[in-house]
């Protein structure tokens, strides 16, 4: 079901009621995707706690915390004035690093941040990455206990998030930055040797003990498992050839030079991590084991040298993470050397991709660690695909319908134009003038019919540019402009923000506006078009991924072999979930209404329609499953005429909205049925 229908507040009210009822008060971690969604969850939490207090609930000492980047949420009066995220990050570390806080205990002249000490919260709301990305997890989520309740909201793309968290790309710029970082580390080590050599000796002694403390903490459920390091490594001492700081720096130099040499390729090279490590050992005699400890060893060295400005080490952090992941996993990853940034580039700019192919690697520590993990979304369909991809055993799998007093949205599948020529974004016909003209005529007719805002989604930027250029030549854009202003989403964030702002103004002043957007873009995932900002959404074509991508091909092959998921099943599933996200933008609450148009003949097939969320597919009437443009316009006019009639919102109470009396009555019915 779409946003605004009560999913977030339902989840929070249920889990918080459970949390506050039992004395141990299990922590709730609520994960969402974007900052606006985190803001909404925090607003819902405030409303919920206010409601609970007004009805006699005593939640004394309750604390809910929202976490985002320092630049977004820093409360320190000195740092919050800074506009640059890098400056805020560096100054924050200078006030909150462990060694700074230790020194401040004896020297009160050292400035620290008091906000940093707030560590006890009942509800924590933050991004997926704070739990799934091992680099961030170590800093933020490692102390969560086993009985923590973890909720992933808007989790329709959770497999992609898992893969992104463990995928790394390196280019020559990052490798050059890494070389400079290694030189800086060498200078720092020499400086510390001359001023306080005992620091390095203490670190060396601690490394002799290996990572036993971390291993014991994991066994005792004190920290969350880091997906980078498996259990057996935590009880081993750090290898001797990287224990000493200067030896570790020399080790990094050799590894970086090797990677630079490997990137001097003029053709694509794809290999497994095992093959990469074998070649590395033959050329440099670097063994697998010290690579496994690279990330932990660098963290230890940075702490010992008391480095706070980590921006100077951004490239080196990527390199050591790449080394650690390569050496830790024998399968589920692909090492890919590409001489050009893209297939169309002519100037060599080599890229090294470590592509994670298995979403289960990042998800496994979460489901093994925590007793309760909830994965939810309005477009989580088909449900059966997610346990397969994430390799989890779902104890409960439920799909809930949406209760509406009136049919406030109308999904239509448009398969042909008024001239009866089929419309589709299939590669063979996507540039056919007849198909492009029919797409354009559908847009014109909808702009005439639909008031205020209309959003049109395309499968890709490339296709959008192509079809808009052809529309311009055909005079279609001039016809659209007679009825609505035209705005276009671009890959540039600033340009898109300006386009959105202007689009909203066009909707507000009565002129009306149409926004051309792209599936998988910023608009399709994080922007709401509530009420007059979106009375209709048209999805032109099916947003399949670019199937010639080498990484996608490797992932499809991996899923077929490991999880028996066929390529076509996954590609269709992925395309339909993104199409659902796009059309779902039109409905942002139970009082909202709008049209959903699927403009492609393939949507009428059962294999595509069955992958749509139940709240959409069950509302596609048989008579609206195979429409021409003129039939769709007629259905749209009839729907909008009905929606324009005065509607008494109080009619929703008892049906799509419950009053307090309805809740009490439902409780009595439930209580009576359990005692019969």
Q: Please give the Cα distance from 478 to 648 (Å, whole number).
A: 40
Helix spans in 349-460 (H): 360-369, 385-390, 433-449
Give the pLDDT confidence score for residue 230 in this predicted structure.
53
Report pLDDT digits (tens) over 253-309. 999 999 999 998 888 899 999 999 999 999 999 998 889 888 888 888 888 887 877
Q: 580: part of which helix (H) or strand (E)?
A: helix 567-583
CA distances from 579 to 215, 424, 454, 523, 572 (A): 44, 14, 16, 13, 10
Report pLDDT digits (tens) over 422-450. 999 998 888 899 999 999 999 999 999 99
**62-66, 85-89, 280-284, 572-576: least confidently modelled range:** 85-89
Residue 405 in this model has a pLDDT that exceeds 70: no
For β-strands 269-271 and 485-488, DSSP reports them as unpaired
Q: Please give the Cα distance from 632 to 622 (Å, whole number).
A: 13
Return the domain boundaries, the chain.
7-166+362-390, 168-358, 409-645, 647-676
Give the pLDDT confidence score for residue 576 in this predicted structure.
93
Q: Please give the Cα distance from 429 to 422 (Å, whole number).
A: 10
Give the pLDDT confidence score for residue 216 in this predicted structure.
46
Report pLDDT digits (tens) over 45-70. 999 999 888 888 887 888 888 887 77
- Residues forming a β-bridge with 653: 657
Average pLDDT rounded to a whole number, residues 243-259: 91
Residue 21 in this model has a pLDDT that exceeds 90: no
Residue 644 in this model has a pLDDT that exceeds 70: yes
For β-strands 513-518 and 351-356, DSSP reports them as unpaired
Give the pLDDT confidence score for residue 656 in this predicted structure.
65
Q: Give the whole-number percent of the chain exceeding pLDDT 70.
A: 88
51 SS3 class: helix
Confidence band for 251, pLDDT divided at 50, 70 and 90: very high
Helix spans in 263-415 (H): 273-284, 288-292, 294-304, 314-328, 360-369, 385-390
Q: Could you tell me which residue, 517 or 97, shows the higher pLDDT?
A: 517
CATH code for the structural domain at 409-645:
3.40.50.300
Report pLDDT digits (tens) over 172-201. 999 999 999 999 999 988 888 888 777 777
Give the pLDDT confidence score for residue 649 in this predicted structure.
65
Confidence band for 96, pLDDT divided at 50, 70 and 90: confident
Give the pLDDT confidence score for residue 531 in this predicted structure.
83
Residue 675 in this model has a pLDDT that exceeds 70: no
Confidence band for 242, pLDDT divided at 50, 70 and 90: confident
Give the pLDDT confidence score for residue 3 in this predicted structure.
59
Q: Tokens at residue 211, please?
A: 């990572």
User: What strands, in cross-sheet order, belong to the sheet with 64-66?
Assistant: 64-66, 123-127, 28-32, 149-152, 372-375
**234-243, 276-285, 584-593: least confidently modelled range:** 234-243
CATH architecture of 7-166+362-390: 3-Layer(aba) Sandwich (3.40)
Average pLDDT rounded to a whole number, residues 354-372: 91
Give the pLDDT confidence score for residue 241 in this predicted structure.
75
Q: Please give the Cα distance from 336 to 267 (Å, whole number).
A: 11
Q: What is the mean pLDDT of the chain?
A: 84
Report CA Rg, the chain: 28
Residue 40 in this model has a pLDDT that exceeds 50: yes
Residue 219 in this model has a pLDDT that exceeds 50: no
Average pLDDT rounded to a whole number, residues 215-232: 44
**237-246, 373-382, 558-567, 653-662: least confidently modelled range:** 653-662
Average pLDDT rounded to a whole number, residues 107-132: 77
Average pLDDT rounded to a whole number, residues 18-46: 87
Q: Backbone phi, then psi, for 602, in 5-degree steps?
A: -70, -20
Average pLDDT rounded to a whole number, residues 574-603: 88
Residue 34 in this model has a pLDDT that exceeds 50: yes
Q: Please give the Cα distance from 583 to 596 (Å, whole number).
A: 6
Report pLDDT digits (tens) over 302-336. 888 878 777 778 889 899 999 999 998 989 999 99
Q: Please give the Cα distance from 559 to 568 (Å, whole number).
A: 11
């Amino acid at each position: 079901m779409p946003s605004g229908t009560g999913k977030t507040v339902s989840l929070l009210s249920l889990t918080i009621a459970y949390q506050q009822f039992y004395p141990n008060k299990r922590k709730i971690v609520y994960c969402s995707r974007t900052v606006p969604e985190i803001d909404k969850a925090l607003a819902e939490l405030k409303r919920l706690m206010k409601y609970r207090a007004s009805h006699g609930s005593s939640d004394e000492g309750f604390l809910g915390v929202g976490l985002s980047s320092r630049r977004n949420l820093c409360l320190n009066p000195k740092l919050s004035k800074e506009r640059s995220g890098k400056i805020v990050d560096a100054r924050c570390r200078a006030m909150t690093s462990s060694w700074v806080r230790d020194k401040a205990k004896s020297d009160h002249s050292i400035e620290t941040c008091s906000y940093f000490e707030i560590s006890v919260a009942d509800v924590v709301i933050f991004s997926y990455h704070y739990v799934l990305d091992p680099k961030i997890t170590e800093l933020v989520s490692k102390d969560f206990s086993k009985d923590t309740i973890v909720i992933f909201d808007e989790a329709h793309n959770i497999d992609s998030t898992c893969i992104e968290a463990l995928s790394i790309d390196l280019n020559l710029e990052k490798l050059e930055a890494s070389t400079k970082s290694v030189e800086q580390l060498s200078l720092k080590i020499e400086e510390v040797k001359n001023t306080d050599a005992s620091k390095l000796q203490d670190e060396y002694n601690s490394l002799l003990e290996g990572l036993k403390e971390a291993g014991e903490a994991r066994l005792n459920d004190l920290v969350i498992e880091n997906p980078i390091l498996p259990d057996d490594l935590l009880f081993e001492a750090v290898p001797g050839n990287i224990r000493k700081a200067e030896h570790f720096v020399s080790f990094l130099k050799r590894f970086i030079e090797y990677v630079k040499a490997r990137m001097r390729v003029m053709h694509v090279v794809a290999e497994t991590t095992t093959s990469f490590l074998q070649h590395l050992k033959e050329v440099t005699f670097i063994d697998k084991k010290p690579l496994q400890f690279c990330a932990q060893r660098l963290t230890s060295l940075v702490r010992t040298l008391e480095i706070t400005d980590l921006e100077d080490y951004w490239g080196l952090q990527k390199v050591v993470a790449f080394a650690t992941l390569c050496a830790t996993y024998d399968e589920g990853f692909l090492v890919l050397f590409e001489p050009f940034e893209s297939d169309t580039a002519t100037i060599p700019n080599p890229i090294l991709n470590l592509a994670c192919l298995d979403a289960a690697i990042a998800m496994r520590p979460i489901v093994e660690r925590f007793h309760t993990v909830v994965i939810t979304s309005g477009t989580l369909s088909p449900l059966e695909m997610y346990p397969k991809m994430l390799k989890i055993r779902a104890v409960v799998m439920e799909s809930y319908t949406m209760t509406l007093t009136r049919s406030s949205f109308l999904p239509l599948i448009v398969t042909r134009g008024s001239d009866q020529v089929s419309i589709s974004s299939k590669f063979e016909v996507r540039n056919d003038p007849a198909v492009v003209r029919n797409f354009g005529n559908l847009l014109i007719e909808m702009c005439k019919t639909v008031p205020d805002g209309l959003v049109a989604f395309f499968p890709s930027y490339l296709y959008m540019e192509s079809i808009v250029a052809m529309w311009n030549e055909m005079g279609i854009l001039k016809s659209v402009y007679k009825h609505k202003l035209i705005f276009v989403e671009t890959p540039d964030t600033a340009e898109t923000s300006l386009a959105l702002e202007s689009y909203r103004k066009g909707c507000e002043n009565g002129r009306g506006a149409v926004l051309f957007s792209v599936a998988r873009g910023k608009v399709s995932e994080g922007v709401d078009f509530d009420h007059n900002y979106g009375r209709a959404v048209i999805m032109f074509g099916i947003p399949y991924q670019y199937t010639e991508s080498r990484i996608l091909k490797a992932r499809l092959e991996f899923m077929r072999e490991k999880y028996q998921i066929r390529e076509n099943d996954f590609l269709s599933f992925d395309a339909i979930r993104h199409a659902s996200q796009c059309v779902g933008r039109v409905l942002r609450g139970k009082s909202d209404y709008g049209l959903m148009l699927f403009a492609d003949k393939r949507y009428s097939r059962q294999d595509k329609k069955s992958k749509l969320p139940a709240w959409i597919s069950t509302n596609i009437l048989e008579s609206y499953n195979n429409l021409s443009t003129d039939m769709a316009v007629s259905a749209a006019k009839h729907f909008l005429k009905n929606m324009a009639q005065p509607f008494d919102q109080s009619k929703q109470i008892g049906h799509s909205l419950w009053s307090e009396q309805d809740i009490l009555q439902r409780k009595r019915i439930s209580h009576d049925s359990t005692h019969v």
